Amino acid sequence: MTPEPPAILNAGPFDGVDPDEFVRAAMRWHFDPATGSRYWLDRADRLGFDPRHDVKGVANLALFPDLTDELREVPVTDLVPRGYGSDVRLVNVFDSGGTTGAPKRVVQFDDWVSHSTEQVDRRLRAHGLPTGTQWLTVAPTGPHLVGDVLQRAARSLGGPGLSVDMDPRWVRKLVAAGRSDEVESYTDHLVDQCRRILSTQDIGVLAATTPLLERFAREDDLLERINGSVRAIVWGGTHMDPDTRHLLATDVFPDTPLVGMYGNTMMLTALLERVGLSAAQPCVFDPVSPYVFLSVVTPGTREPVGFGERGQVIVSHVSKSMLIPNNAERDTALRVRPVDGQAGDAVADVAPVPTVEGDRVIEGVY
């Protein structure tokens, strides 16, 4: 018989549950021999503490070591919590983009798909995105989470999603090898595909990365088409500095709202830009309690920086389906107080760290 999970672990993103209580329930679930995954049960004795006893809330997630490098090689079946039962349907296995080395892998189940889509949908609607209109998503699909998140967002808002796929790993290889002419040719290939769609279809929402938006701005026909018909732009995937964000919002696409999206595979979802910000204000991303918690710390010591100061972003994902605590991201950001009801930090002006373990961080087109 499949064990019943604590009821709180089935809570939706807007049910108002206490984040600390949620985290405690998740520790019981992931470290109970009857319900936890093989991955976490095999590591429990090596942690040096008892998660079911010592992790009393969000702040104690910092007790965990950053084990995410292990997700590059662990069998994905080891990530499935036993509490789901032997007949659970594994919806997706997603890879990270490989910015910091070999891809890491995570798993996704129906319950998490529902929670993630609900929170993204609610926040996009709060930004005033149109419903029932076609989307064009220019993002990695296949093993990459972002394409799935955006396509589900399009469907939840009632619009069909057209897409142009991209291969971020190949572009990073080209950049690392100094093959800039091939990077330019590949970008031309992406732009040509977008041109065909934008010139023949009525696209209401465009989702693209910063480098592609900058490239669209150099193409007069695309710029005219986007400004004439697209009603909202969602950007993400690569970082956008404040000057670029201000230029795109005020000069390049002055009548089209730009909405930032910050996320990655280890979050298993995406965070949306805080509603109501002007182009002159820092772009702030709030966490998603009770599942995704952010902290901004001094690298090395992991001590929190002051509010308004820059530090490295630490991300924890806590849900019934997966536990990914205390993950040091490849990002720096300003530490900001979150909106009411959210635990942990919010982040602003997210930027890449220059290197990870001595290797240069390469973003490319994504």
Token digits of residue 251: 């000069």
Is residue 196 one of the residues assigned to a domain?
no
- 361 and 354 Cβ atoms separated by less than 8 Å: yes
Terminal alpha carbon distance of the chain: 44
Task: Flag whether 61 is in a domain.
Answer: yes
Per-residue confidence (pLDDT) for residue 42, from 0 to 100: 97
CA–CA separation, 314 and 61 (whole Å)? 11
Give the pLDDT of residue 360: 55
pLDDT at residue 68, rounded to an integer: 93
Tokens 């280890």 -> residue: 266
SS (H, E, C) 9-25: HHCCCCCCCCHHHHHHH
Q: Taken in order 174, 176, 181, 184, is the CA torsion positive or negative?
A: positive
- Total domains in the fold of the chain: 1
Q: How many residues does the chain have?
A: 366
Q: Would you say residue 65 lies in a domain?
A: yes
CA distance linking residue 109 with residue 303, whole number of Å: 34
Instruction: Examine residue 307 and state whether it is found in any structural domain, yes or no.
Output: no
Domain membership of residue 64 (yes or no) is yes
pTM: 0.93
CA distances from 236 to 70, 117, 262 (A): 26, 17, 6
- Asked whether residue 60 is domain-assigned, the answer is yes
Range of the domain at 63: 7-84
Helix axes 110-126, 145-156, angle to 10 degrees: 60
The list of the chain residues with pLDDT below 50 reads 366
33 falls within a domain? yes
User: Is 222 within 8 Å of 191 (Cβ atoms)?
Assistant: yes
- Candidates 315, 188, 217; CA nearest to 263 is 315
Amino acid at site 146: V
Residue 213 within a domain: no
Helix (H, G, I), strand (E, B) or coil at 362: coil
